[in-house]
Every structure is written in C-alpha cells, then in structure tokens.
Amino acid sequence: MKNILVLCTGNSCRSQLAEGYLRHFAGNKAAIYSAGIETHGVNPKAIQVMAEDGIDISHHTSNNVDEYVAIPFDYVITVCDNAKENCPYFLTQAQRFHFNFPDPAKATGTPDEIMNEFRRVRDMIKEYARNFISQNLAQ
C-alpha cells in the first residue's frame, strides 16, 4: 500500500478536497493523508461542496505536516505554491508532485458566486485526483 500526503498552506480547503477524492479513487490501494504547514480548521464550504458530490469529509481534521514526519510517504502532492515553497524535507524517497489550485476561500462576491468558486475548484481537484490515481496506482 502506498502512502500519499497532500500538502497545502492551512489544510482547510484544497488539501481536504484532494484527500477526499484521492481516498475515493484509490480505494484500498493507498493511505491518504493531508496536512498544512499551518492549521486553519476544515472549511465548512469545503465540507458542503464535497457532500454535494457524495463524499463526506466532515470527519476530516486540520493537521500540521509535523505530525507526519515519521510516515514513509511514496508521494507528496503540494496543491498551492506556498506549500511547495515551504514544504519540509521528508526522510523518504517520496516523489513530489505540484499543482497550484486557486484558493476558493479567497473568493469574493455573493454567497452563490463564492459557492460556485468552491465547486469550480472542487471539480478541478476531482479531475486531478482521478488522473493521479490512474497514472500512479494502476493495478
């Protein structure tokens, strides 16, 4: 079984969405973790948009990357530039991947416009996660 870490700044939105989808697509092929270089709590809007797509992340917690230094990760995925630039060194041979997804928590506008931005980013992350699993955890 592979160990995958998704890393973001605050472990509140993008990394939580990615953790949810990676778990969904990987099934029992991988243990999925997400963390931040800070912890900001799981964003309620992230929970909401994932529930709209049938994935429950309401039990997720916001974790600091330091909690996982002893885990031998096979893959580390950074989902924002800040995390990539500040990603700690892991004593592992982990392959690193990076995609700078927009931060939906910074969306402005009406409540509907903000939720639409969360959905847009969710859908981008869903596609990335689906492709990541199919390309890296093929049977």
Q: Look at the block and give the residue holding tokens 């797509």.
A: 53
Pairing state between β 2-8 and 95-98: unpaired
Distance CA 135, CA 36 (A): 25
**For residues 95, 132, 76 and 87, what is the CA-based torsion angle, rounded to 10 degrees?**
110
| Opening angle at CA 29, ends 25 and 30, nearest 5 | 85
Instruction: Find out whether 47 and 122 touch, Cβ atoms under 8 Å.
Output: no
| Active-site residue list | 8, 80, 87
Give the distance, in angstroms, between the CA of residue 87 and the centroid of all CA atoms in the same chain: 14
